[in-house]
């Protein structure tokens, strides 16, 4: 089978070495004669995997001891309500910046648990830019941000100036660049963009953010439940956690998140430079807010979309159709996407222009 470059927004590309090791573990994990899919989550071998995944998260992101790492289920969408349920009550106020579909959904859920204010939004321009220059109320319990927006192709390259703890959905750019962890009270990320397969959700929470609401919280939705049980209050998603651990090992072997950031900047520059040069395409997101993870662009000439996607497929570049709310094309270039893959796509764009301009 010829080489395929997976530009899908998610479930997304994983390193080849991670896929190979995962496949081997599914057949026979580490010589045990058992599949990873059937081992006990209480057994010493998987407990060591979970411990390593937590340790690698702390190492890669530079987490101090007062931040706890959890691997939960339910996807990032479950965190839209879990964050508000655990952090917000009628005596507080949550502030949200609305930068796309996922933050809009988070806002809807937060309103069920306490006062919620949208202090900035880019909805009026179909979320094609990241709002700036807004003020965060001093009485805010937390400020919720979405660091990268997969649909519109925007990314926050700077945090707002505030002393308010930030709650951040990093589902599509976790481990892609260094972060200033002291600015964050809680971070959550679905695995299936930059970490592993769908099925587990990473949560990083600062201890003092918890235990401050006046409501009773059901056990499964209380972060403290999962902290006390080391993410094993119920059966954890063994396979997604294992693959996420392998991915974090790979990131470490590549030089960590600083090396990932440089790699991602180089890849994004190749694609954005070609978009800006090519007469048949134009970018969607505001240039200063362009995502290093999800490159969105549209055709400048009518009727060429299907032919361009066919040319991409023929070259082994798959998953490039844009989201229905934006149209056009989307090249997702997460950590595991190679320079080779990005150069292949850029060459397709150049050849397509020569044939169709």
Structure tokens at 303: 């009727």
For residue 6, give the nearest of 313, 306, 237 by alpha carbon.
Answer: 313
Cα angle vertex 146, ends 5, 242, to 5°? 55
From the candidates 29, 68, 98, 169, give the one annotated as an active-site residue.
169
193 is catalytic: yes
CA 325 to each of CA 6, 88, 150, 154, 330: distance values in angstroms, whole numbers, following the listed order? 21, 31, 12, 14, 12
Q: What share of the chain is helix, strand, coil (3-state, %, to 5)?
A: 40, 15, 40
From the candidates 68, 98, 173, 193, give the one annotated as an active-site residue.
193
Is the CB of residue 71 less than 8 Å from the CB of residue 201? Answer: yes
From the candidates 102, 173, 222, 267, give the one annotated as an active-site residue.
102
Tell me the C-alpha distance between 8 and 53, whole Å.
25
Report the run of H or E that residue 69 belongs to, with start and end: strand 67-72
Is the CB of residue 257 less than 8 Å from the CB of residue 251? Answer: yes
The residues annotated with a catalytic role in the active site are 102, 169, 193
């Amino acid at each position: 089978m010829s080489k395929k470059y997976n530009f899908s927004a998610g479930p997304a590309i994983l390193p080849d070495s991670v896929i190979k090791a995962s496949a081997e573990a599914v057949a026979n994990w580490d010589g045990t004669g058992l599949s990873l899919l059937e081992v006990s989550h209480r057994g010493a071998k998987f407990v060591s995997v979970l411990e390593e995944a937590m340790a690698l998260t702390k190492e890669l992101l530079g987490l101090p001891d007062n931040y706890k790492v959890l691997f939960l289920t339910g996807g990032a969408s479950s965190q839209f309500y879990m964050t508000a349920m655990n952090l917000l009550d009628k005596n507080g106020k949550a502030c949200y910046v609305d930068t796309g579909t996922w933050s809009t959904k988070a806002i809807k859920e937060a309103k069920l648990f306490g006062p919620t204010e949208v202090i900035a939004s880019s909805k009026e321009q179909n979320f094609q830019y990241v709002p700036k220059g807004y003020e965060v109320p001093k009485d805010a319990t937390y400020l919720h941000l979405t660091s990268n927006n997969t649909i519109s192709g925007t990314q926050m390259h700077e945090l707002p100036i505030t002393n308010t703890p930030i709650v951040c959905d990093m589902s599509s750019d976790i481990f892609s660049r260094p972060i200033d962890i002291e600015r964050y009270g809680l971070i959550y990320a679905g695995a299936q963009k930059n970490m592993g397969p769908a099925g587990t959700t990473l949560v990083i929470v600062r201890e003092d953010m918890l235990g401050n609401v006046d409501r009773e919280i059901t056990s499964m939705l209380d972060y403290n439940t999962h902290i006390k049980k080391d993410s094993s209050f119920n059966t954890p998603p063994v396979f997604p956690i294992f693959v996420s651990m392998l991915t974090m090992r790979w990131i470490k072997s590549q030089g960590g998140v600083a090396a990932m950031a440089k790699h991602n900047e180089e890849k994004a520059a190749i694609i954005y430079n070609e978009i800006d040069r090519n007469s048949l395409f134009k970018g969607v997101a505001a240039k200063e807010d362009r995502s290093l993870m999800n490159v969105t662009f549209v055709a400048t000439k009518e009727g060429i979309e299907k032919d361009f996607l066919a040319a991409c497929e023929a070259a082994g570049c798959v998953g490039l159709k844009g989201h229905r709310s934006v149209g056009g094309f989307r090249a997702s270039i997460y950590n595991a996407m190679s320079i080779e893959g990005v150069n292949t796509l850029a060459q397709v764009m150049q050849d397509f222009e020569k044939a169709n301009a």
